[in-house]
Amino acid sequence: MPPTRGRPIALKLLILLTVPLLSLVGLWVFAAVLTGGDGLRLLQINELVRNLANPSEQMNVHLQTERLASVEFMIGKRSAESLAKQRALTDSTIGTFRKLARDQPDISPEMAAQLTELNDRLDRLPKIRRQVDNRASAPLSVLDGFSEIVDAFFRMRDTMILVPDMALYRQARAVSTLGEAKDVLSREQAVIAVVLSRGRVSKTEREAFTGMVATRRLLYTQALSHLDAGLRGPYQKLVGSPVYREFEEAEDAIRGQAVLNGLPATAATWPVDANNLWTVVDLNQSKAVQEIVRRVTPAANGILVKIGVAGGAGLFAVAASLMLSFRFRRRLVRELAGLRDAATELAEVRLAGLVQRLRGNPTGPVELAPITVKAETAEVADIVQAFNTVQSTAVDAAVSQAKLRHGVNRVFVNLARRNQSLLHRQLLQLDSMERQTEEPDALDDLFKLDHLTTRMRRHAESLIILSDQAPGRGWRNPVPIVDVLRAAVAEVEEYQRVEVLQTPPLSLSGVAVTDVAHLMAELIENATLFSPPQTRVDLRTTQTPHGLTVEIEDRGLGLPRTELDELNARLAEMPEFDLAQSDRLGLFVVSRLAARQGIRVRLAPSPYGGLTASVMLPSAILSDQPALAH
C-alpha cells in the first residue's frame, strides 16, 4: 500500500540508524576513556610493589625459612633459640605487612578478598607453632600448615597483576608462577631434612615428595613457555647447569622405590644440592620481578596517550548523537506510543468486551468504532488502517463463532431434551416390568437395564449443563445428604465398588439436589475408571464451620503435580467449553455445576497412592431440618 501522507518511515529509520551508529562510536570512546583506569593502575604498580608486594614477599621468605626451621627443630637439627629468633623475624615482617596493607587505598574487591583470606591464614600461625613446640603433629602436617599460609600469599599476589596489556600480563603471570615453583623447592628442602634425619623414606613422605617434584617441574615448564627471551635466558641457563642437574638427580633418587629400605651414599649431598639451587633461583626471581616492574611504566604511558587521542573525537561524536536523537525521538515516539495504545485498547478492551457480550447475547449489536491515531508518518497511518481492517475481520469471526456456539448449544439442548423424554418413558416402562416380573434372572437383567438407563439420563443432562441450561429434574423439599450421595452412586457403572461411609444428619436444599448428585456422580465415575477394578472408592463426609466436605478417595496411580495443578485451575475458573477437548467432558460439567451452586472442588494426592476429590458444599445449600418425602 503506497504512503498516503507525511514523510516515509524509511527516512526516519535511516536517521535512527545513524544516531545509534554515532552513539556506539561515542560509547566506544567513552569505554576507552574508562579503560584509562587500566593505565592509571599500571602507574600505581610501583605503589603496590612498595606497600604490598615487597613487604608480602619479605614475609613470605621468612615464612618459608621458619617452615624449614620448624621442621628441623622437630627432628632435632635446630635449637629452640635459633627457632625463636626466626619467629621474631617472621612476626616483624607480618606486622609491617599488615600495617601497610591496612593503609593501602583503592584496592580491588578481588584483592581485598584475597587479602582477608591471607590474614585469616596468618591468624592460624600461633596454633601451628604450638604444634611444633609440643611436637604434637608429624613434620609433614606442620609443613602443610605453613604451606597453606604461603599459598594464600600467592593467591593474593595473583590479584596484584594489574596489567591490561596481554603480552605484559603473560610475562608477569609467568614470573609469579616461577615464584610458586620456588616455594615448592623450599618445601622439598624441608622433606629432605626429615628424610635424612630418619635415614630412610617412608611411603607417605615419598608420595608427598613425588607430588612436589611433579608440581615444581610442571610450574617451571609452563612458566618458561610464556617468558620472552630476555626473561627466559637466566632460567634456561639454570636448567642446563650442573646445580640443577644434581638436584634433579636427588629428586629422582628420593622418588625411587629403593629409598623405602634405606638411603644411598649420595644422600649426604642432598641438602647442599637443594641449597645451591635455592640460592640461584632466589637471585633469578628477584631480577625477573624488577624487570617486570621496569616494563610497566612505558606500557602505561602508551595506553594513556592512545586513550587521550581517541577521547577528543569521541566527545564530538557523543554531542552530535545527542542532538540528532533528541530532535527526532519526540515525534516518532509520540506516534508509536499512540499506535501502541490503540492496539492495546483493541486487543484488551474492544475485542475482549465484544466476545464477552456475544457469549451472553449472540444476536446483540456488534458495531465497533474504528481506532484513530494522530500520525504524520505514512507507514504509521497505514498500520492504523490495517488495524481497523483486522478489527472488522475479528468482529466478523467473533460473531460467526458466537452464532456457531449458540447453534451447537441449541442442538445439544434439543437432543438432550428428546433423550430425556425417551429415557424417562423407558424408566417408567422398566419400573412397570420390574413390578410384573418374579423370575430372579429376568429381574436382574431389568435392574441392569434400569441402571444403564439412569447413566444414559445423566449423560443427556451433561449436554444440557454444558449448554448453560438447567436439567428437567428437581426437588422442592430438602433431601438427606446420604440419599443424595447414594443417588449419585447409583448413576455410576461400577457402583458396587463405591462405599458411602457414615454421614452427618444434614439435608440438601431441593434446588441443589440435581446439580450436587450429578457433580458427585461425575467425580465418583472418574474415581472408578482410573483405579484398579479390585479396589474400592470411599465417600467420606465431614461437617465444617462453613458447610460440608465430601471426600471421594480412590486407590489409582494418581497424577503428576503439574497435571494436578492444571486440573484444579480449570475446576476453579469454570473454563469455556471447548469442543476440541471432548475427552475432558466431565471436567467441564463439574466446573459448571460447582460454579452454579457456589461449590469448591479440589483434587489432591491420596495417601493410598490415588487421588482424593474434595467437594466443599456451602452452608447456604444445606439444612438441619429432616428431609421430607419427595
- Does pLDDT of 35 surpass 90? no
Cα distance between residue 323 and residue 150, in whole Å: 57
Q: Residue 71's closest CA among 150, 135, 151, 148?
A: 135
pLDDT of amino acid 164: 59
Non-local (6+) Cβ contacts of 71 within 8 A are: 139, 142, 143, 190, 193, 194
Note the pLDDT of residue 1. Answer: 41
Of the candidate ranges 62-76, 94-108, 125-139, 476-490, the one whose mean pLDDT is the lowest = 94-108
What is the pLDDT averaged over residues 575-595? 65
Category of 609 on φ-ψ map: left (φ > 0), alpha (ψ -120 to 50) or beta: left
CATH number of the domain where residue 518 is located: 3.30.565.10
Alpha-carbon gap, residue 289 to 300, rounded angstroms:
17
Distance CA 239, CA 217 (A): 11
Contacts for 220 with CB less than 8 Å, ≥ 6 apart: 178, 181, 235, 239
Range of the domain at 578: 474-623
Over residues 144-168, the mean pLDDT reads 78
pLDDT in tens, 438-488: 767 665 665 566 556 666 666 656 655 665 655 656 677 888 989 889 888
Secondary structure class of 531 (helix, strand, coil): coil
**Does residue 3 register a pLDDT over 70?**
no
Residue 557, classified by CB atoms within 10 Å of its CB into exposed (0-12), middle (13-18) or buried (19+), is exposed
pLDDT score of 630:
42
Number of independent structural domains in the chain: 2
Residue 185 lies in a domain: no
What is the structure's pLDDT at 264? 76
Within-domain flag for 137: yes
Please indicate, yes or no, whether the overall pTM of this predicted structure exceeds 0.75: no
Q: Which of 102, 96, 143, 94 is nearest to 123 (CA)?
A: 94
Residue ending a domain, among 118, 145, 161, is 161
328 burial (CB, 10 Å; 0-12 / 13-18 / 19+) is middle
With contact defined as beta carbons under 8 Å apart, do 343 and 390 qualify? no
Per-residue pLDDT band at 185 (split at 50, 70, 90): confident
Round to whole Å and give the CA distance between 58 and 452: 98
Q: Which of the listed ranges 23-27, 390-394, 465-469 does the model predict with the highest average pLDDT?
A: 390-394
Of residues 228 and 10, more confidently modeled: 228
Q: Please give the average per-residue pLDDT across 337-353, as a whole number.
A: 71
Tell me: the pLDDT tens digits for 511-549? 888 888 888 888 888 888 888 888 889 999 998 888 899
CA distance 611 to 555: 7
d(Cα 30, Cα 45) in Å, to the nearest integer? 24
What pLDDT was estimated at residue 627?
Answer: 44
Residue 179 domain-assigned?
Answer: no
Q: Which residues contact 365 (CB under 8 A, 6 or more apart)?
A: none
Taking a C-beta distance cutoff of 8 angstroms, is the pair 114, 232 a contact?
no
Final residue of a structural domain among 106, 132, 161: 161
**Residues 526, 586 contacting (CB under 8 angstroms):** yes
> Does residue 61 have a pLDDT over 60?
yes
Q: Quick check: 394 pLDDT over 90? A: no
Between 323 and 241, the higher pLDDT residue: 241
Beta strands at 507-508 and 600-605: parallel, antiparallel or unpaired:
unpaired
State the SS3 of 69-121: HHHHHHCCCCCHHHHHHHHHHHHHHHHHHHHHHHCCCCCCHHHHHHHHHHHHH
**What radius of gyration, in Å, describes the C-alpha atoms of the chain?**
45
| Contact (CB, 8 A) for 573 and 591 | yes
Residue 433 has pLDDT above 90, yes or no: no
Model pLDDT for residues 551-568, shown as the tens digit of each residue: 999 888 888 888 888 888
pLDDT (0 to 100) of residue 27:
66
CA-based nearest residue to 542, from 614, 475, 472, 591: 614
Last residue of a domain, one of 138, 161, 184: 161
The whole-number pLDDT of residue 618 equals 92
Q: Is the pLDDT of residue 269 over 60?
A: yes
Of 145-159, 211-225, 290-304, the range with the lowest mean pLDDT is 290-304
When pLDDT is averaged across residues 173-193 and rounded to a whole number, the result is 84
Beta strands 537-544 and 507-508, pairing class = unpaired
Q: Is residue 404 part of a domain?
A: no
Task: Decide if 260 is inside a domain.
Answer: no
- Give the per-residue pLDDT at 85: 92
Which range, of 35-44, 475-484, 545-554, 602-611, averages the lowest pLDDT?
35-44
Helix, strand, or coil (residue 538):
strand
In a domain, 110, yes or no: yes
Q: What is the mean pLDDT of residues 397-407?
A: 61
In a domain? residue 572: yes
Rounded to whole angstroms, the Cα distance separating 607 from 285 reads 72
Write out pLDDT tens, residues 205-235: 888 888 888 888 888 888 888 888 888 888 8
pLDDT per position as a tens digit, 361-391? 556 556 666 767 776 667 777 777 777 777 6
Structure confidence at residue 477 (pLDDT)? 83
Q: Are 142 and 131 contacting, i.e. CB atoms less than 8 angstroms apart? A: yes
Q: How much of the chain, in percent, has pLDDT values that exceed 90?
A: 3
In the predicted model, is pLDDT for residue 39 greater than 60? no
Would you say residue 607 lies in a domain?
yes
Distances (CA, A) of 27 to 24, 32, 35, 432: 5, 8, 12, 94
Q: How far is CA 120 from the centre of its chain?
A: 33
Do residues 568 and 602 make contact, with C-beta atoms less than 8 angstroms apart? yes
197-208 pLDDT, tens digit per residue, is 877 888 888 888
Do the beta carbons of residue 157 and residue 53 sit within 8 Å?
yes
Q: For residue 571, what pLDDT band results from cuts at 50, 70 and 90?
A: confident
